[in-house]
């Protein structure tokens, strides 16, 4: 009887293990543990009545046969950039979608502007930090290489669906001006004149910002200092 009891326990444990594996890798995870591990949520933004393909890899993957419908909300577990400079979101094991067909889910479901901005900012900061160490390339707008405004344009477009101008002269015209004493993560910092700044970075919080600095430094994080102090801050979220 003891052997039979142990066998039943082992079988039940194995069943729970398999069930847990299936839950973790579902496209629409419902378990609280899975949601807590997620970094952000996105909404499929394609064509009403149609869906986007789910691929088994972000680099040269194959179509899994599954499609996600326009308007459905998905939980993003990881973000990757393929060798063509495109951003992909991982929804589960061997389940990837192109970020360009999504928008932040928090934009529609949150009621206040401050909460909405926080949701967008987390996605922007995550994608910006994923570019750390990338090369500085004059005129660069992809992970192959960025200049300062190219990095800002790429991150805001791919993380939040916000289309900013290509140059610092254009980007400084977007959003509203904010005090340097009232900065929030995701704000844009500019150096130079308010009308024609020569440099831009993304504020991370705690006095730090990320930017494509120089050809010798690439994309790095630095602290705001009196030696290199921003002249203008804009909030576009």
Please name the helix (run of DSSP H) or strand (run of DSSP E) that holds residue 44, with its range, or none. strand 40-44
Catalytic residue among 60, 62, 70, 199: 199
Q: Above 50 in pLDDT, residue 36? A: no
* CA atoms of 93 and 56, how far apart (whole Å): 8
Of 47-56, 83-92, 178-187, least confident by mean pLDDT is 47-56
pLDDT category, 170, cuts 50, 70, 90?
Answer: very high
Annotated catalytic residue 34: no
Q: Above 90 in pLDDT, residue 180? A: yes
> 236: helix, coil or strand?
coil
The β-bridge partners of 57 are: none
Question: What's the number of CA atoms in the CB half-sphere (13 Å) around residue 17?
Answer: 6
Place of tokens 């477009």: 157
Whole-number pLDDT of residue 114: 37
The β-bridge partners of 205 are: 208
Whole-number pLDDT of residue 5: 44
Annotated catalytic residue 211: yes
Whole-number pLDDT of residue 106: 59
Of 50-59, 61-70, 117-126, 186-195, least confident by mean pLDDT is 117-126
Over residues 88-113, the pLDDT tens digits come to: 999 999 999 988 788 777 543 333 33
Whole-number pLDDT of residue 83: 86
Catalytic residue among 34, 60, 70, 148: 148
Whole-number pLDDT of residue 140: 95
User: Mean pLDDT, to the nearest integer, of 14-24?
Assistant: 34
Over residues 103-148, the pLDDT tens digits come to: 777 543 333 333 344 457 889 999 999 999 999 999 999 999 999 9
Q: Above 80 in pLDDT, residue 44? A: yes
Annotated catalytic residue 148: yes
| Inter-axis angle of helices 148-160 and 113-129, nearest 10 | 120
DSSP state of 136: B
Q: pTM here?
A: 0.53
pLDDT category, 27, cuts 50, 70, 90?
Answer: very low
Whole-number pLDDT of residue 95: 94
Whole-number pLDDT of residue 84: 82
Q: Above 50 in pLDDT, residue 59? A: yes
User: Mean pLDDT, to the nearest integer, of 67-87?
Assistant: 87
User: Mean pLDDT, to the nearest integer, of 59-87?
Assistant: 88
Whole-number pLDDT of residue 39: 57
Whole-number pLDDT of residue 29: 38
Whole-number pLDDT of residue 101: 80
């Amino acid at each position: 009887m003891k052997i039979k009891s142990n066998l039943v326990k082992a079988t039940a444990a194995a069943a729970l293990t398999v069930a847990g594996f299936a839950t973790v890798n579902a496209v629409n995870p419902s378990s609280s543990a899975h949601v807590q591990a997620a970094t952000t949520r996105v909404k499929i933004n394609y064509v009403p009545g149609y869906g986007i393909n789910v691929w088994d890899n972000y680099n040269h993957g194959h179509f899994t046969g599954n499609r996600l419908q326009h308007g459905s909300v998905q939980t993003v577990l990881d973000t990757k950039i393929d060798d063509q400079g495109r951003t992909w979101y991982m929804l589960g094991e061997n389940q990837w979608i192109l970020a360009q067909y999504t928008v932040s889910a928090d934009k529609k479901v949150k009621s206040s502007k401050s909460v909405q901005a926080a949701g967008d900012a987390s996605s922007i900061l995550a994608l910006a930090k994923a570019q750390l160490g990338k090369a500085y390339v004059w005129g660069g707008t992809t992970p192959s290489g960025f200049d300062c405004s190219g990095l800002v344009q790429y991150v805001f477009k791919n993380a939040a669906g916000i289309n900013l101008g290509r140059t610092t002269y254009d980007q400084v015209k977007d959003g509203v001006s904010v005090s340097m004493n009232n900065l929030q993560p995701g704000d844009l910092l500019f150096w130079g004149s308010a009308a024609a700044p020569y440099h831009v970075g993304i504020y991370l919080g705690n006095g730090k910002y990320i930017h494509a600095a120089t050809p010798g430094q690439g994309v790095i994080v630095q602290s705001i200092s009196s030696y290199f102090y921003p002249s203008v801050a804009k909030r576009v979220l």
